[in-house]
């Protein structure tokens, strides 16, 4: 007699994964007017919300799935029209959960028109043990466009004593001005991440890191100012350094925990960026 169970495929069924997509086009509706939403498309668990308030248009990215799991993919596409002024942040820290193999992907694609100004200020990304994530950040800037971008990563939850015994984190940045590549950076760490970060040549024991990039007219000339602001915001357990070349400025910050790093980043950005941090950061 034929046994249908004997012929069954022993492999697990294919999982249904989250596939979030957001495309925002924003800019002044009339010359000299305030920045407003011109077009918005959302799909899957990715959503944008726009709190009312004074100042530039603020967009808050929401992941209704509650995090990113093995094999999920998210794409954020932003077109900021000439003279547009936008701040983009997230409603909370993004959590990257463990994976049994598949790699999750987050793709950020930005296009800034002439004279546009974007502050890219998401809250921190938290990697759980055995998380596997590849993230890309690509920005195309027209002449005189200004980009201030910050990304913070926490390698495990220090308060719970969590260690990353295995995992993958890949972070690729590419920024172009008028079609010409002006900034490229890729960070990739795979394997026993906590042990690797403990090495002096890699992380020196850091459990969180931040990258801040300023691509704007006059950014390179603000190096001394940036270093002075970092010194004023400093606190124990934080290491920070700033460099400037080819018309942009880059800051790296390492910390033993994400809380102090987040506080230092906010204290630096408020005077440097010339405007308050998004309200969700202040909760």
pLDDT attached to residue 10 = 53
The pLDDT mean for the chain works out to 92
Look at 69 and 6; give whichever has higher pLDDT: 69
DSSP structural state of residue 156: S
Is 60 exceeded by the pLDDT of residue 3?
no
pLDDT digits (tens, 9 = 90+) for 43-64: 999 999 999 877 789 999 999 9
- Averaged pLDDT, 104-125: 97
* Cβ(48)–Cβ(61) below 8 Å: yes
Q: What angle do CA 198, 265, 278 make, to 5 degrees?
A: 135
- Averaged pLDDT, 191-213: 95
How far is 155 from 128, CA to CA, in rounded Å?
7
The neighbour count for residue 177, using CB atoms within 10 Å, is 21
Which residue, among 87, 26, 37, 100, has the nearest Cα to 61 in the 3D structure? Answer: 87
How far is 114 from 146, CA to CA, in rounded Å?
9
Is 80 exceeded by the pLDDT of residue 108?
yes
pLDDT attached to residue 14 = 64
- Averaged pLDDT, 122-146: 97
Name the β-bridge partners of 170. 134, 188
* Confidence band of 170 (pLDDT split at 50, 70, 90): very high
Which residue do the tokens 């939403």 mark? 37
User: What H or E segment, with its residue span, contains residue 269?
Assistant: helix 258-273
* Confidence band of 12 (pLDDT split at 50, 70, 90): very low
pLDDT digits (tens, 9 = 90+) for 23-33: 999 999 888 88
Query: Percent helix, strand and coil across the chain, each rounded to 5?
Result: 15, 45, 40
Is 90 exceeded by the pLDDT of residue 234?
no
Percent of the chain with pLDDT over 70: 94
* Confidence band of 231 (pLDDT split at 50, 70, 90): very high
pLDDT attached to residue 1 = 47
Percent of the chain with pLDDT over 90: 83
For 176-240, give the secondary structure using H, E and C: EECCEEEEEEEEEEECCHHHHHCCCCCCCCCCEEEEEEEECCCCHHHHHHHHHHHHHHCCCCEEE
- Averaged pLDDT, 167-195: 96
Name the β-bridge partners of 160. none
Q: What is the CA radius of gyration of the chain?
A: 20
How far is 154 from 164, CA to CA, in rounded Å?
11
pLDDT attached to residue 127 = 97
How far is 170 from 188, CA to CA, in rounded Å?
4
- Averaged pLDDT, 125-146: 97
pLDDT attached to residue 154 = 96
pLDDT attached to residue 54 = 76
pLDDT digits (tens, 9 = 90+) for 139-163: 999 999 999 999 999 999 887 888 9
pLDDT attached to residue 282 = 77
């Amino acid at each position: 007699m034929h046994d249908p169970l004997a012929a069954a495929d022993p492999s697990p069924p294919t999982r249904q994964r989250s596939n979030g997509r957001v495309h925002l086009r924003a800019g002044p509706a009339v010359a000299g007017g305030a920045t407003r939403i011109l077009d918005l498309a959302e799909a899957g668990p990715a959503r944008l919300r726009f709190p009312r308030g004074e100042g530039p248009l603020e967009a808050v990215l929401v992941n209704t799935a509650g995090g990113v799991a093995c094999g999920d993919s998210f794409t954020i596409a932003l077109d900021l029209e000439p003279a547009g002024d936008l701040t983009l942040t997230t409603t909370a820290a993004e959590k990257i959960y463990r994976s049994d193999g598949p790699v999750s992907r987050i793709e950020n694609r930005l296009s800034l028109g002439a004279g546009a100004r974007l502050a890219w200020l998401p809250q921190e990304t938290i990697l759980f043990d055995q998380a596997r994530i590849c993230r890309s950040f690509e920005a195309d800037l027209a002449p005189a466009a200004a980009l201030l971008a910050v990304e913070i990563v926490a390698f495990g939850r220090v308060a719970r004593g969590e260690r990353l015994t295995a995992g993958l984190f890949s972070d690729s940045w590419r920024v172009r001005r008028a079609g010409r590549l002006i900034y490229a950076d890729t960070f990739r760490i795979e394997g026993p991440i906590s042990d690797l970060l403990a090495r002096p040549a890699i992380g020196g024991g850091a459990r969180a890191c931040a990258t801040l990039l300023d691509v704007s007219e006059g950014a390179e000339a603000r190096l001394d100012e940036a270093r002075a602001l970092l010194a004023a915001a400093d606190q124990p357990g934080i290491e920070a350094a700033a460099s400037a070349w080819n018309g942009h400025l880059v800051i790296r910050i390492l910390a033993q925990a994400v809380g102090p790093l987040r506080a230092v980043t906010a204290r630096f950005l408020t005077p440097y960026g010339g405007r308050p941090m998004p309200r969700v950061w202040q909760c």
